[in-house]
Chains A and B, each alone.
Chain A
Amino acid sequence: MNNFPVKFVFIGEVDHGKSSLIGRLALDTNSMPREHVKNIRQISKELGSETALAYFTDQLEEERKNNLTIDTTQIQLNSPGKNYVLIDTPGHLEFLKNMMTGVTHADAAILVIDATEGIKPQTQRHAFLAGFLGLRHIIIVVNKMDLASYSQRTFEEITQKLRSLLPAHTNQNISMVPASAKEAANISRRSSKTPWYKGPSLLEAMKSIRINQKKDSAPFCFPVQDVYKIGNENIIVGRIASGSVEQGQDITLLPSQKRATIRSLKVFDKETKKAQSRQSIGIALTTPLNVKRGDVLCDKKYRPQITTRFTGKVFWLSDKPLGLNQTILIRCATQETQCTVEKIEKKTDLALSKELKQNMNELKQNETAAIQFKANTALVVEDSNRVGELGRFVLQDNDHLLGVGIIK
Chain B
Amino acid sequence: MDYIDQLENNSIYLIREAYSRFKKVALLWSMGKDSTTLLWLCRKAFFGQIPFPVVHIDTSYKFQQIYEFREKYAREWNLNLTVLKNEDALKEGMNYSKGRFECCNTLKTETLKMGIKKHHFEALFLAIRRDEHGIRAKERFFSPRDTDMRWDYQNQPPELWDLYQSSLSNDKHFRIHPMLNWREIDVWQYIQKEKMPVIDLYFSKNQKRYRSIGCETCCFATPSGAKSLREIISELKTTRVSERSGRAQDKEDTFAMQKLRSLGYM
Interface residues of A (CB under 8 A from B): 1-5, 30, 32-36, 43, 46, 56-57, 59-62, 70-76, 97-98, 100-101, 104-105, 133, 225-226, 228, 230, 235, 237-239, 266-269, 276, 278-280, 282, 293, 317, 331, 388-389, 392-394, 396, 398-401, 404
Contacts and interface: CB of A to CB of B under 8 A. Distances in A.
A4 B3 CA distance: 6
Contacts of B16: 225-226, 237-238, 280
Given A2-B2, A60-B258, A235-B47, A98 B156 contact: yes
A46 B44 CA distance: 48
Contacts of A388: 161
Closest 5 CB pairs of A and B: A33-B242, A59-B134, A97-B158, A280-B12, A268-B44
Nearest to B136: A59
A75 B154 contact: no
A226 B239 CA distance: 42
Contacts of B245: 33, 35
The interface centre, meaning the residue of B10, B47, B258 with most chain A CB atoms within 10 A of its CB, is: B47
B46 interface: yes
B4 to A, nearest CB: 6
Contacts, number: 143
A62 B10 CA distance: 32
A267 B194 CA distance: 13
A367 to B, nearest CB: 17
B218 interface: no
Nearest to A227: B20
B201 to A, nearest CB: 21
Secondary structure of the A contact surface, majority rule: mixed
Contacts of B48: 268-269
Nearest to A31: B240
Interface stretch (B100-108, B163-171, B202-210): B163-171
Given A35-B242, A105-B161, A278-B6, 4 more contacts: A36-B242, A101-B159, A280-B10, A389-B161
Interface of B: 1-6, 9-10, 12-13, 16-17, 19-20, 43-49, 130-131, 134-135, 137-138, 140, 153-154, 156-161, 163, 165, 167, 169, 181, 183, 185, 189, 237, 239-243, 245, 254-255, 258
A61 B258 contact: yes
27 contacts: A3-B3, A34-B240, A36-B134, A43-B254, A59-B137, A60-B135, A71-B156, A73-B138, A100-B158, A101-B140, A104-B160, A226-B19, A230-B49, A237-B16, A239-B12, A268-B47, A278-B6, A279-B5, A280-B12, A280-B45, A293-B20, A393-B163, A394-B163, A398-B167, A399-B169, A401-B157, A401-B158
B232 to A, nearest CB: 13
A406 to B, nearest CB: 11
Given A1-B237, A268-B44, A278 B1 contact: yes
Contacts of B156: 71, 98
A62 B154 contact: yes
Contacts of B161: 104-105, 388-389, 392
Contacts of A399: 167, 169
B163 to A, nearest CB: 5
A401 B142 CA distance: 13
Given A101-B159, A266-B47, A280 B135 contact: no
Contact of A2 (B3, B13, B255): B3
A32 B161 CA distance: 27
A112 to B, nearest CB: 19
A331 B163 contact: yes
